[in-house]
Homo-oligomer: A and B are copies of this chain.
């Protein structure tokens, strides 16, 4: 928690621009506010930071997490309404129960009768309440029961019998493969309609579904109708990244996260720069590979954050990045002497941030604070 010149920050380092973060948060809040009563339940798997969470939700409102470690950290800091949005493994129920015995409510998700029976047996045996959501699949992306499948009701009954049924949850992960914002809006409509249909199945069978939870950054920002939905989950919107820019969800200039790096070598023959940000600092994520603009391992900016022509990190080893031009023309090496600093925009904010232990927070071009991140499970 100190002010430093960006030149003093040891490379590689994760930078977070406060102003862009604030703008990204405001944009999502404005979108959610269009539907009265609709709640934002931000996904903190990208941030994994109490400081960021406190800006995202100053009122310590409902949040989403991807690990029980996140749930435990956020619970310790006063976040009391948490959805753990990964299908529950039976071996994790004791940790969930431990949290639910305190002031925290951790909801879980599942998509099979077998998993529901594990939960029902546990809830009965331990005498603890665990709010459980049925995961439905609206785009063939990953897990989840298809809306309309009688399984929705079958699972619902197992849960309702022990008072554990809390509603429906879906995630339109397929929207990451959309080719236009119109297509994203189509995914958003399918996501909403599928979730509502599954909730209707429960209600028609006389089962409760107070929660109808949907979300992903693309569908949340491009939904045309969210009526009937009770809450929206999204995470990447806080920082944005090149995958989101490639989808048309944001402009590259809105990406709040970057990796500060130093030039450590010149490959004169190939006209390449060698920098000290390899895959350990950038992650191995190649999320833009199938997009119209393949950004390699990240787009290169100058130390102030201005995107440089067509410079990209083309290859990575553990602690080395090879920077070249998309046009394949040689880089003007004299412009980037040994020791000069660059910044790299991430393909995937979640993956890049996960490689770091702290954010160096920038305001007015200065590194004004360091915010801790946590990780692991």
Contacts and interface: CB of A to CB of B under 8 A. Distances in A.
A11 B89 contact: yes
Contacts of A266: 112, 114
Contacts of A320: 86-87, 142-143
Contacts of A351: 279, 284, 318
A279 B284 CA distance: 10
Given A318-B45, A357-B376, A92 B265 contact: no
Complex copy number for this chain: 2
Contacts of A95: 10
Given A10-B91, A281-B377, A318-B351, 11 more contacts: A13-B377, A45-B318, A66-B280, A66-B319, A87-B276, A89-B264, A110-B265, A114-B337, A115-B339, A354-B355, A357-B376
Interface of A: 7, 10-13, 45, 66-68, 86-92, 95, 110-112, 114-115, 118, 142-143, 173, 262-267, 274, 276, 279-281, 283-286, 317-320, 322, 337-339, 350-351, 354-358, 375-377
20 contacts: A10-B95, A11-B92, A13-B377, A45-B319, A66-B318, A66-B319, A86-B264, A86-B319, A87-B264, A90-B339, A91-B339, A111-B265, A112-B338, A114-B266, A142-B274, A142-B320, A143-B320, A284-B286, A318-B350, A357-B375
